[in-house]
Chain A
Amino acid sequence: GENVGLHLPTLSVQEGDNSIINCAYSNSASDYFIWYKQESGKGPQFIIDIRSNMDKRQGQRVTVLLNKTVKHLSLQIAATQPGDSAVYFCAENPSIQGAQKLVFGQGTRLTINP
């Protein structure tokens, strides 16, 4: 079955540095991927998404990279700020059509040190 996982469960970076959060997936049929940010006591909040026909997509201070050859997804956050401290989840969807039954990874806790 589908398996979405993360290389590191925790990540600490200095404020102002860039951070990279990694995610591995196993379902080669997945054609849509999404990153969510979850702050303590809150629901997941959309950050950025990417379709499988793309290698890279940029947002405001965030970039998602997709490597289909090795089934790897990463989220880059530039110039991290204290407000970036949260748990970050990647999720995959086997098909961009239909009901979108997302499969979530375990999550990575990002801590920003002052």
Chain B
Amino acid sequence: NAGVTQTPKFRILKIGQSMTLQCAQDMNHNYMYWYRQDPGMGLKLIYYSVGAGITDKGEVPNGYNVSRSTTEDFPLRLELAAPSQTSVYFCASRHRVDQNIQYFGAGTRLSVL
């Protein structure tokens, strides 16, 4: 198993551009999460999903959108990139409600200039 795979690893965007951060997991996990991590800070939850077709907002959802059309994939969309979205983005997954550990991908480092 590859675990949680995030692409790309690095990306530079210009203000106003859009992009999609990809996240895929091959562990058949129901729950998936997107976090952002600003320098010297902990992770903050952007969006999460409890299963295919179901998504919900986390603590900092503004400026982002997600979809969950399959169990495996949970892409994060930035429509109009802003400098405030410069951050490292992590995707995580968890099996089901009675299994607590979230498994993280390696992250995508995004700079908006």
Contacts and interface: CB of A to CB of B under 8 A. Distances in A.
Nearest to B99: A100
Q: What range describes how many residues of B lie at the interface? A: 20 to 34
Main secondary structure of the interface of A (DSSP, over half): loop
Contacts of B59: 101, 103
B44 interface: yes
A43 B45 contact: no
B21 interface: no
Given A99-B31, A100-B31, A101-B58, A44 B43 contact: yes
A9 B40 CA distance: 9
A42 B105 CA distance: 8
A114 B19 CA distance: 44
Interface of A: 4, 9, 32, 34, 36, 41-46, 49, 89, 91, 93, 96-107
B97 interface: yes
B48 interface: yes
A46 to B, nearest CB: 5
B43 A89 contact: yes
6 contacts: A41-B107, A43-B90, A89-B43, A99-B50, A103-B59, A104-B43
B56 A46 contact: no
Contacts of B103: 46
Most B C-beta atoms less than 10 A away, residue of A4, A97, A101, A102? A102
